[in-house]
Structure 1
Amino acid sequence: MAKTRPHVAILVANLPAERDRRVIRECLSLEANGYDVTVIAPRGDPSLKILPNSRNTRLKPYPVKVYGSGVVTFAVEFAWSFICIAFRLLGEILAGRAHAVQVCNPPDAYWPLAILFRALGRPWVFDHHDLCPEVYATRSGTPNGLVFGTLVAFEWLTLRTATAVFATNESYRSNALGRGVKPEKITVVRNGPSASEIKPAPPQAGPQDEHTIVYLGVLGPQDNVEGAVLAAEELIRLRPRPDWRMVIAGDGETLPALTKLVAERGLGNVVEFTGWLEGPAIDELLRKATVAIQPDLPTRMNNLSTMAKTVEYLGRGVPVVAADLIETRRSAGEAAVYVEHGTPHEYATALAALLDDPAERQRMREVGLARFAHELSWEHQSRGYIEVWNRLLAKRLRRAKASAS
């Protein structure tokens, strides 16, 4: 690596770098615009030293000894991650790298490092992936007031100690403003694939021998993938002729419970699990999909969050059936059919109607593709993302260009 190039260290605590698609896109955008990058994240594939498909983004993984499933184990897991990340970040600084840091949540626990790093006169940028207090409230059912209040305080500290904030949508921007962050410090950078990741697919307006209903994403308690499975059970009653199947693509802590549910309900002939898929396999699956299901329930967290899977669907022109959520409407517009309460029967009824209406599916397909091309693709998001870094590291960029000339 040329020492003259500005260097950004990206910190991730909840996923291996090679599985975080947003971080991958951010790294590739930084590389394309004259930056060197190191990602400090949990260890995934032990053979990887460089981020796949990147030029030279270095991976500095750390081992994860504990995986959280409750408040105490989550605290232990993230305390361990904090120590590992701090140690590796110190190594980057001593090696003359880490001219700036981008930290991605969850958790909102790295604000002490932000204070120390900014004391060195270097930018610390917060990439706001999740509303951690709302995630906790959704997962716990009856949140403990002390724990929830602590998470709110940590979110406030994380936002306020950052040099700049990347918000994934307008609701996250409003949240940051409500925490006292100045408007000029916040840039909206939405989730979504780049156009280069997607191969064009022929229209699917005519009759099909078999329809494919897709769920793509994480299989966690807050994702309500159980609702998609139960919607498949309801759809059998509404549409008993076996001309469709539901493909659930993803991985997460509820996968064992979901596979058990499918077996108990006798749905193995219509519901299949693919496990975690990488980019090309995702593209192949979604290009063949008839319709997508987004079974997230209308909770506060889901109302305010942009689901990455929504933009993945729209980028391939796949019509979406989803609960009526604020940010889902902002993303999908008329490319989705919205149900009020998110019950399995509502989802099944909407799916059955779309499977019987190829003209409506084609209309929704065209709307989704247009929204992706003109607003939602990563090409549109990366411009604002890079503008922030160019401003924060302007002096280092000028020195790098002068050195190269």
Structure 2
Amino acid sequence: MSLRVLIVVENLPVPLDRRVWLEAMTLTTAGYQVSVICPMARGWNAPYEVIDGVHIYRHPMPAEAHSGALAYAREYGAALWHWFRLSYRVRRERGFDVIQGCNPPDLVFLLALWWRLRGVRYMFDHHDVCPELFEAKFGKRGLLWRVMMIWERLTFATADVSIATNESFRAIAHRRGKMAAGDVFVVRSAPQTDRFIPGLGNPDWRKGADCVLGYVGVIGQQEGMDLLVAAVDHLVNVMGRRGVHALIVGFGPHLPVVEQDVRDRGLSAHFTFTGALYDTALLEVLNVIDIGVAPDPKNAMNDISTMNKVMEYMTLGKPVVQFDLTEGRASAGEASLYATDNDPIKMAECIARLMDDPDLRQRMGALGRARVLENLSWGSSVPHLLAAYERIAQKRAAKG
């Protein structure tokens, strides 16, 4: 009998969390029974629904912590309460043999430990390096950073198998997590190439601009949106590139700050904030851009993280401009130009180079799409995900 899987997510609803949804659908297609516990948000507010065979149990979204131990205690305490409450419901209605915990935070191991006493195994889906995320968000380490290092270690110690999003995360599972090589599987995040298809898009989104930049993703403190705004400011007001327009697709707690920065710099005519877009609406925007931008600054977290936005630009055949990150280069290779030193002026210069050379844009875009189709698509990750579940099934059978 195929395993019954319970996936637990804290920070995004499903199916909005694209990686988790692809994992859930892949497992369902392979014959696994999949249930999900996640928060309500962004219109996904039904407490319970079934989508394409996946049973989704949602709870109110805990208030996101921005600073202080008390704020984190409130956010994570509320999440833990809902995880335990809903896990008993799932156990009663559907049952589960494996919990797949998706971080952040590195606290799903507490739920896994409770259910381990009842024969349930734990699969850790390592989305973010939480200690580095904390440092990037707040610019410091301190007591909470040390606590997160402990949580990470306990997470790996609890996990029977770990899924890493890239080779850097695999190295952390070995080095800091002390996990055996045979228990860590790289399952890269990537779009579905049969749905993320290049096309004409909706030309109305171009706003009559000569060159359109595109950004898609979360708009938080650590995504470098201030650097992107500064780069466009330099392009427009210093380099005289007044025909440039930036389409910003996404949502997040830092959005009002970014919008105010744009207004303060007198750049409102050069930016459009679309809000969150999905499926066809998202493709209508991304297919009209000329250059995909990823302004995530180089820091301990971003340097080893795979950016979904970069993969999406490449899948649609768009050249990329980003800062020089280790995993950014691993993903994009020669399909991207790389600005150094977290310098928005250097980012502006990279953008200007592509604006001036349509042939280079075309070559880089074609190169990026070829990289995805050859070995970076979700289809390439599916065997690794299924192998991870085969491994946890073996360990479960061996332990009885």
User: 140, 146, 149: which one pairs with 2:146?
Assistant: 149
Q: What 5-or-longer segments of structure 1 have no aligned partner? A: 203-207, 398-405
> How far apart, CA to CA, are the structure 1 residues paired with 2:47 and 2:381?
27
* Corresponding residue SS for 1:18: coil
> How far apart, CA to CA, are the structure 2 residues paired with 1:102 and 1:69?
26
TM-superposed CA distance for 1:47, in Å, is: 3.7
Counterpart in 1 of 2:267?
Answer: 267
Q: Do the aligned residues in 1 keep the contact of 2:104 with 2:130 (CA within 8 Å)?
A: yes
Q: Deviations over 1:294-321 (max 9, x none)?
A: 1111111111111111111111111111
| Inter-CA distance 5–358: structure 2 relative to 1 (3 Å threshold) | same
Counterpart in 2 of 1:50?
Answer: 49
> How far apart, CA to CA, are the structure 2 residues paired with 1:272 and 1:389?
43
> How far apart, CA to CA, are the structure 1 residues paired with 2:167 and 2:256?
35
* Corresponding residue SS for 1:190: coil
Amino acid at match of 1:82: L
TM-superposed CA distance for 1:243, in Å, is: 2.6
Kindly indicate whether residue 7 of structure 2 is the aligned counterpart of residue 13 of structure 1. no
> How far apart, CA to CA, are the structure 1 residues paired with 2:336 and 2:62?
41
Amino acid at match of 1:348: A
TM-superposed CA distance for 1:176, in Å, is: 0.8
Q: Deviations over 1:181-225 (max 9, x none)?
A: 1111100011110112212337xxxxx963210111111111011
CA RMSD in angstroms comes to: 2.1
| Inter-CA distance 139–372: structure 2 relative to 1 (3 Å threshold) | same
TM-superposed CA distance for 1:394, in Å, is: 6.8
Counterpart in 1 of 2:66?
Answer: 69
Q: Do the aligned residues in 1 keep the contact of 2:112 with 2:120 (CA within 8 Å)?
A: no
Q: Deviations over 1:33-63 (max 9, x none)?
A: 1122111011132247436xx4221111111
Q: What 5-or-longer segments of structure 2 have no aligned partner? A: 201-207
> How far apart, CA to CA, are the structure 2 residues paired with 1:313 and 1:231?
19
* Corresponding residue SS for 2:269: coil
User: 22, 28, 32: which one pairs with 2:29?
Assistant: 32
Q: Give me the TM-score of the superposition, normalised by structure 1.
A: 0.91
* Corresponding residue SS for 2:341: coil
Kindly indicate whether residue 284 of structure 2 is the aligned counterpart of residue 287 of structure 1. no
Kindly indicate whether residue 214 of structure 2 is the aligned counterpart of residue 214 of structure 1. yes
> How far apart, CA to CA, are the structure 2 residues paired with 1:153 and 1:267?
44
Counterpart in 2 of 1:121?
Answer: 119
Counterpart in 2 of 1:205?
Answer: none
Amino acid at match of 2:289: A
Q: Give me the TM-score of the superposition, normalised by structure 2.
A: 0.92
| Inter-CA distance 241–132: structure 2 relative to 1 (3 Å threshold) | closer
> How far apart, CA to CA, are the structure 2 residues paired with 1:374 and 1:292?
20
TM-superposed CA distance for 1:109, in Å, is: 1.1
Counterpart in 2 of 1:359?
Answer: 359
Which has the larger displacement, 62-71 or 271-280? 62-71
Amino acid at match of 2:284: E
With a CA cutoff of 8 Å and minimum separation of 6, indicate the structure with the bigger relative contact order: 1
Counterpart in 2 of 1:308?
Answer: 308
TM-superposed CA distance for 1:115, in Å, is: 2.1
Kindly indicate whether residue 315 of structure 2 is the aligned counterpart of residue 318 of structure 1. no
Counterpart in 2 of 1:190?
Answer: 188
Q: Do the aligned residues in 1 keep the contact of 2:234 with 2:348 (CA within 8 Å)?
A: yes
> How far apart, CA to CA, are the structure 2 residues paired with 1:135 and 1:65?
19
Aligned residues: 387
Q: Do the aligned residues in 2 keep the contact of 1:232 with 1:348 (CA within 8 Å)?
A: yes
User: 170, 174, 178: which one pairs with 1:173?
Assistant: 170
